[in-house]
Amino acid sequence: MNTYMNMLEWEDSAIPHRLWVERLDNGRTRLCMKIVKDVEPEMLYLELPVSQEKVMGAWQGRAAAVSDAYDDGCLYSQVRSLFNLDNGCVVWTVNHIQLADKQKMSADKLAFIPGMTHDQGLLKAILETA
């Protein structure tokens, strides 16, 4: 493992985006995502309250749908879970917009949802065990 930056590989070769984790000096991790198939590439960053090792161990190589996809031909939108952590999950909101010139752009977002987990297509509260 690299002590600064580590790539996370997608199982799906149709997803050209780049995903990696960076170690921060405060013991936290920054998740970075480069959306590469757009008119203008988009960079997304999310600071996570866990180590690089925890993120790399949680990554399964794919995103899992949390919501049904909406697609009217001009707008595609869906929420996907990237991975679960002990204290929450990371979701990726996917938004592709077809512009007037027929090119597409993304307006995506990464978010850490504390106290929630992705399980079989749903976001659920993490239950505390005594």
Give me the average pLDDT of each 10-residue run along the chain (130 residues). 81 86 90 84 93 94 94 96 95 94 91 94 80
pLDDT number for residue 1:
57
How far apart CA 2 and CA 14 sit, in angstroms, is: 26
pLDDT number for residue 41:
82
Structural Rg of the chain based on CA atoms: 15
CA 105 to chain centre: 17
pLDDT number for residue 112:
97
The total number of residues written for the chain in this structure: 130
Burial class (CB in 10 A: 0-12, 13-18, 19+), 92: buried
